[in-house]
Amino acid sequence: MSRYYSVAIDGPSGAGKSTIAKMCAERFGFLYIDTGAIYRTVGVAVRNAGIGSKDEAGVTAVLPSIDIAIRHDGNGLQRMILNGQDVTDEIRLPEISIYASDVSAMPAVRSFLLEKQREFARTNNVIMDGRDIGTVVLPDADLKIFLTASPDERAQRRFEELQLRGTQATYDDVLRDIVYRDTNDSRRSAAPLRPAEGAVILDTTGNTLTQSFELICGLIEEKMSR
């Protein structure tokens, strides 16, 4: 039987998980799965169906009609396909961040997406990032990392990212969104955001991206050399 490696990176929004995970996936030739993008895609489906982000009965009812596919383009970018339509850009809208955070607190949504996520790790070396990868999705991952940074620093990083994308948002909007989602994601009863047992906790406040990247590459190399 072939042996596949799995790396789980969890942490609050704006901690740099996806940027670093993508870079690591490239260096080690692993498949990168951004699970937040999957929750965001459910958020788009719910919004498109005219259902409120906190309407649990409405969201649960619409789940069977949601078909989500993931494609990786030539640059390793994960494209999200919702019922045949590419929603990769749309899922990044600030409005969808709130939808994703709200619907992700619903147990029906989490179980709807669980197997979809696990399937990737059965057939690939993966680096998966999210909120519950080390605690729920891949509790037996070879390496679990909990990546965090101060709310101010995360808001600043996210603000700069949105500006580069041309999305209109002020720094205060972004900070408010981060604080809202931190509270939502860590206080919910279904798979709350918390470090997994055995996770390496990395606070990247004050680090450059390269420093955090190299640190994590070192941890992966150490695991793979055993």
Please identify, using beta-carbon distances, which residue of 39 and 159 lies nearer to ligand DC.
39
Q: How far apart are CA 33 and CA 56, in angstroms?
A: 26
**Stretch binding ligand DC (CB under 6 A), from 49-57, 125-133, 194-202, 204-212:** 125-133
Please tell me whether residue 177 binds ligand DC under the rule CB under 6 A.
Answer: no
Q: Is 181 a residue that touches ligand DC (CB under 6 A)?
A: yes
Whole-number Å distance between alpha carbons of 16 and 90: 20
> Which lies closer to ligand DC via its Cβ, residue 132 or residue 153?
132
Residues within window 18-37 making contact with ligand DC, judged by CB under 6 A: 35-36
Which residues touch 49 (CB under 8 Å, ≥6 apart)? Answer: 58, 62, 65
- Distance (Å) of CA 25 to CA 22, 28, 35, 40, 50: 5, 5, 14, 21, 36
> Residue 129 — φ and ψ, nearest 5°?
-120, 150
Could you say which residues in the range 72-111 bind ligand DC, by CB under 6 A?
A: 100-101, 104
Q: Is 132 in the site for ligand DC (CB under 6 A)?
A: yes
Task: Pick the binder of ligand DC from 6, 8, 9, 13 (CB under 6 A).
Answer: 13
The yes or no reply on residue 131 touching ligand DC (CB under 6 A) is yes
Query: Among 28, 25, 24, 13, which Cα is nearest to 215's?
Result: 24
Q: Name the helix (H) or strand (E) containing 98.
A: helix 94-103
Residues at the interface with ligand DC (CB under 6 A):
13, 35-36, 39-40, 100-101, 104, 130-133, 181, 185
